[in-house]
Every structure is written in C-alpha cells, then in structure tokens.
C-alpha cells in the first residue's frame, strides 16, 4: 500500500488503522465457492469462532465440509470443456510445442498470481462477485460485470452439455450413427468413413454431416436471420440439463457437499495445485487431440490444417470420427460423452452459482426466496438458450461464444487487479491474507499483483481490440448487424464498471474530495472518513487542484 503523495498519475492511499496484535495465526473460517466461467474464480469465507458459523453481517451461510471438498470443487469448476477443445487448437494454431513456452511463462506471471488473488479475496471477504467490493466501493461495477458475463456464458454453455447428452443417447446402439452415409440426413456429398476425401473440397464425412445435418439441421437454415423453431430433441436434452442444474443449486452448497466449518490453510497451495492440474489437463488433451488429428489427416490424405478445427467441431466431429474407428466404438463413445457431461455440468454449476450468489448477496431480500430465485434464473437461461437449439442455432451459439466472455473478461480482471493492487493496496491485501493463514505472501506475489499482472492484462486487452476478427462459422460470415449485436453484448457487461462508479460517486455525500474518499475507502472505515481520521485521496493533479480550490472557497465563505 502506497503512503504519502505521489506525482500526477499515481495515487496516494489511506492511512489504514493498525490491526490489533495477536491476529497472525491460522484462523478457523467458513469456505464458500463461487466460480465464474472462463477463468475468473471467486471463493468466499469469513473468520468464525470454533463454536459458531456466523457471517459478518450476522447471517448464517453455507460452508464446505473439508479442505479436500473445497479443493476438488475448485478444480472441477476450473477444468472445463475449454481444456478439451480450445487449448489444443490454440496450441496448434500458434506454433505447436513452441506455444507452451509463452503459455507457461504467462501462467507463472499472470495466471497463478491472479488466481491466488481471486481465491484470497473471496475467502477473506466471504461475499459474492459484487459484495467483495465493500473493500473499495468505487469498483463494485466489476462484480456486476462478472455476474453478467457468467449469465451470458450460461446462455450457450448449457447447449454444449445438451449436445453431449444427445450424443450420449445416440451412442447406445450397435452401430454409431456417424459411421456411414446411408442415413436420411446424409447428402450426396457424404464420403464413407472407410474412403478418403482425396482433397475434394466438396466431400464431407459422415461425422460432419451427423453433427450439422442430423443433430443441428443446419442445412435447413440460410443464416442467423433464418433460425427456425427449436428442435424438440435438443430442447428435451437442454431441459434435462436445466433440471439437473436447478436441483444442484437450489439449496446452495448443502446440495453438493457436507457443510461444517473447516480449518483453512490457504498459503498459496490451492492456487498452485488448481492451476497446475488445469494446465496438465490441457496438455493431456492436446496430446490426445494431436494423435487423433494426425491419424485423421493420414486417413483422409489431407493436410493437418484441413482437419484441425476449433470449438464444437473438434469435440462433436473429430473425436467421434476417431472413436468410430476403435474396436467396441459404442462403449468408447459412451465413456467419452459421459466425460464431457461431467466436465460441463460442474463448470455450468459454478457459472450459474456465481450469478445466483452474487445477486442474492447484493439484494438481501432474495435470501429467503433462494429456491424461487434460482428457478427464475435457470428458466430464463433455458428460454434464451432455445435460440441455440433451432435450425440456425449454431450461428447464435458462435456469436455468443465470440463475444460473451472474450475481451470483456480480460477487461473485468484488469480493473479488478487495479482496484485491489492500487486502490485497496497490496500491503493491506497481504495483511488480510496473513490474518487468515498466519503468513504474508512473498515478494514475488506482491510484485506480480502490483505491476506484472496489471501490465500483462492491459497488454492483452489492447491486443484483443487491435486483432479483432469478425465471427464466422465455416464458410458463413456473419452480417454486420450481427457483429454489432455481439459488440453490444460485450460492452453491456464492461460498461457496468463506469456506470456503477458514476452512480456511486454521485450518491455519496459531501464535497468532491469527500465523495472520492468514501468511494475508495473500505465500507468498514467510512466512520473514520466522517471523523476526518482517514486522509482523503488525490487521484491526479486535477483532483488535487479541485480539492484545494473548493477548500479555499469554503474558507473564504466562512471567513
């Protein structure tokens, strides 16, 4: 935490009251997990006495039973379908094995430190995505950004699980339906699995046609402006997924594990273990994928880039086609799609829980109606997701996947890192961690939080905007209006940061300097601001000038 006045673009921080001595040992805490899809995890906790489980506000809150329950839940939420289809393709697209060098480097300087920060922030403050920003109210919009991103991801992520469920049902047969071209959905361009494509761009495989024509019925749609009605088979599978999610979430943590207080020893072990397992899962998936791609490339006598694909095509076309060549292919297909279901369900639960818990923590009256509110969220998600199971639903899916959690999640994490490291203060944040586990984070973590990770995230946000490519699916390019809708979706979550900051600043009492002090002082210390015991902040030369001018005007008026 910076003390004293810094030049121009830097900010001086408050003089925080000294914490009482005797708090530097491991404490007994309650653990509550809230996970945001695509990389941002929030875990909440609060210090409790050995005989009670009390929220700082006096409310009871569900807890995890054992440390291993908590760790396995974090791992289950962090490892998802992106490990299976997105990482291998990005690895191939960006140099193959050489891609692992920058990947591991950035994981060390950004991924692991940010995950550690997220974990500690949630566990200490024991709040949802928005509630944790009582430490710096001006940044509460970041929490609403995260909630909206989780909601948007749920619109299409549940559809992936529905596809996997459909494939699972189809796998219970003597012969897999994507082996031959003699099905009602096949076109004249279909080439049998046992033949080669011979670089014929007009030929397609049975697996491709099963996914696009047998499952999606994409051939019955001319584009995103011609969606058609929802397919009843996929709608039924989506309904099953939504029902499972509801009954997994309606009671909170109690439905997914034992709920008693646990002795919490974070150090940074959980963050390292989870990040490592997440990366190892991606590596393993990459090895399997490249083996499959090499085999399919040789089988069809085409270049590797002709069979390498991103997104659902990798999981629902390439994998099934390779599995179909194995002895006992139906058994292997069942195992594979059960794996996809387990990967998808727990991550979907985490994303949905981050929405539900974040809003319930913010609007306290919802606590008494969690079951009804959960039902409202899952039903709303189901209704919007119906657009993804129409004849042209893959176009809606692609648009959501492209815009819902790309640049916006990088922006949200960037603002979060700045808020914690530069406004709340790295020193104070380290004190909070020491209060929980008995020791402060090392110099490496503090430097990453304050300098390295924010710079990396800023660079990634700029690159994300500069290298933007309009979405497309296969040879279909989205119309301009669809791209604009996608950008509106992305901006709708990012804009919560400045909108809430403006609202908070305007709603606070006092002069400009008073408002600024309240806005970036932890809510638990607002009474100190009122008594003038916390120094007010100056953000820039302009802010300092405005504060000085206002003080001079008031002095002249009262004089």
Q: Point out the annotated binding site for Na(+).
A: 76, 78-79, 83, 278, 343, 346-347
For 190, which DSSP code? Answer: B
Go through 304-313 and write b for each residue having 16 or more CB atoms within 10 A of its CB, e for each that does not. eeebbbebbb
CA 198 to chain centre: 41
Residues 6+ apart with CB under 8 A from 103: 91, 279
Note whether 391 and 217 are within 8 A (CB). yes
Distance CA 419, CA 414 (A): 9
The Cα 184–Cα 172 span in angstroms is: 19
Signed CA dihedral, 143, 411, 116, 111: sign only: positive
Which backbone phi and psi does 19 adopt, to 5 degrees? -75, 145
Taking the C-alpha atoms of residue 176 and residue 167, their distance in angstroms, rounded to an integer, is 10
- 10 Å Cβ neighbour count for 163? 27
Convert 458-480 to b/e letters by CB count within 10 Å (16 or more is b). Answer: eebbeeeeeeeeebebeebebee
Q: How many residues does the chain have?
A: 559
CA angle 140/142/147 to nearest 5° reads 105
β-pairing verdict for 40-47 and 472-473: unpaired
The C-alpha atoms of residue 70 and residue 63 are separated, in whole angstroms, by 9
| Cα three-residue angle 277-282-285, rounded to 5 degrees | 125
Q: What is the sign of the dihedral through the CA atoms of 517, 518, 521 and 525?
A: positive
Residues near 121 by beta carbon (within 8 Å), at least 6 away in sequence? 42, 132, 420, 429
Which residue numbers belong to the known binding site?
A: 76, 78-79, 83, 278, 343, 346-347
Half-sphere exposure for 170 (CA within 13 Å, toward CB):
23
Tokens representing 531?
A: 């008594």
């Amino acid at each position: 935490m910076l003390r004293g006045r810094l030049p121009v673009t830097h900010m001086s921080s408050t003089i925080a009251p000294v914490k009482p001595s005797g708090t530097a040992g491991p404490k007994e805490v309650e653990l509550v997990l809230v996970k945001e899809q695509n990389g941002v995890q929030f875990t909440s906790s609060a210090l409790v006495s050995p005989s009670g489980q009390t929220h700082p506000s006096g409310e009871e809150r569900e807890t995890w039973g054992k440390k291993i329950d908590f760790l396995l839940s974090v791992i289950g939420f962090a490892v998802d379908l992106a490990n299976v289809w997105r990482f291998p393709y990005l690895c191939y697209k960006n140099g193959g094995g050489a891609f692992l060098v920058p990947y591991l480097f950035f994981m060390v300087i950004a991924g692991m430190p940010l995950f550690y920060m997220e974990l500690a922030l949630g566990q200490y403050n024991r709040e949802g995505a928005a509630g944790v920003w009582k430490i710096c109210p001006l940044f509460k919009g970041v929490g609403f950004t995260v909630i909206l991103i989780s909601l948007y991801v749920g619109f299409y992520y549940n559809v992936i699980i529905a596809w996997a469920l459909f494939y699972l049902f189809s796998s219970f047969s003597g012969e897999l339906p994507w082996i031959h071209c003699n099905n009602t959905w096949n076109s004249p361009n279909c080439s049998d699995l046992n033949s080669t494509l011979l670089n014929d761009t007009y030929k397609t495989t049975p697996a491709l046609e099963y996914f696009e024509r047998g499952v999606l019925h994409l051939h019955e749609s001319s584009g995103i402006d011609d969606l058609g009605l929802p397919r009843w088979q996929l709608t039924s599978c989506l309904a099953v997924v939504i029902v499972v999610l509801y009954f997994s979430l309606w009671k909170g943590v109690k439905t997914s594990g034992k709920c008693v207080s646990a002795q919490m020893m974070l150090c940074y072990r959980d963050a390292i273990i989870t990040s490592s397992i997440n990366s190892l899962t991606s590596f393993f998936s990459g090895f399997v994928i490249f083996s499959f791609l090499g085999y399919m490339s040789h089988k069809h006598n085409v270049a590797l880039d002709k069979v390498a694909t991103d997104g659902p095509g990798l999981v629902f076309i390439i994998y099934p086609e390779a599995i179909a060549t194995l002895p006992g292919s139906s058994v292997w297909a069942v195992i594979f799609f059960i794996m996809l279901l387990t990967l998808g369900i727990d991550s979907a639960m985490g994303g949905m829980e981050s929405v539900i818990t974040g809003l319930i923590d913010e609007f306290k009256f919802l606590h008494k109606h969690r079951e009804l509110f959960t039902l409202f969220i899952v039903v709303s998600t189901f209704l919007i997701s119906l657009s993804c199971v129409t004849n042209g639903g893959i176009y809606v899916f692609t648009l959501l996947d492209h815009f819902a959690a790309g640049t916006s999640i990088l922006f949200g994490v960037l603002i979060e890192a700045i808020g914690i490291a530069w406004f709340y203060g790295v020193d104070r944040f380290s004190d909070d961690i020491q209060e929980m586990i008995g020791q402060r984070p090392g110099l490496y973590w503090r430097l990453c939080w304050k300098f390295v990770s924010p710079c990396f995230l800023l660079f990634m946000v700029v690159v994300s905007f500069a290298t933007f490519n309009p979405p497309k699916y296969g040879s279909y390019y989205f119309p301009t209006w669809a791209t604009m809708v996608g950008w509106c979706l992305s901006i709708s979550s990012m804009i919560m940061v400045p909108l809430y900051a403006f609202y908070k600043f305007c709603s606070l009492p006092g002069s400009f300097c008073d408002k600024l002090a309240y806005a970036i002082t932890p809510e638990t210390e607002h009474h100190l601001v009122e008594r003038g015991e916390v120094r007010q902040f100056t953000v820039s030369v302009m802010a300092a000038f405005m504060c000085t001018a206002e003080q001079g005007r008031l002095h002249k008026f009262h004089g």
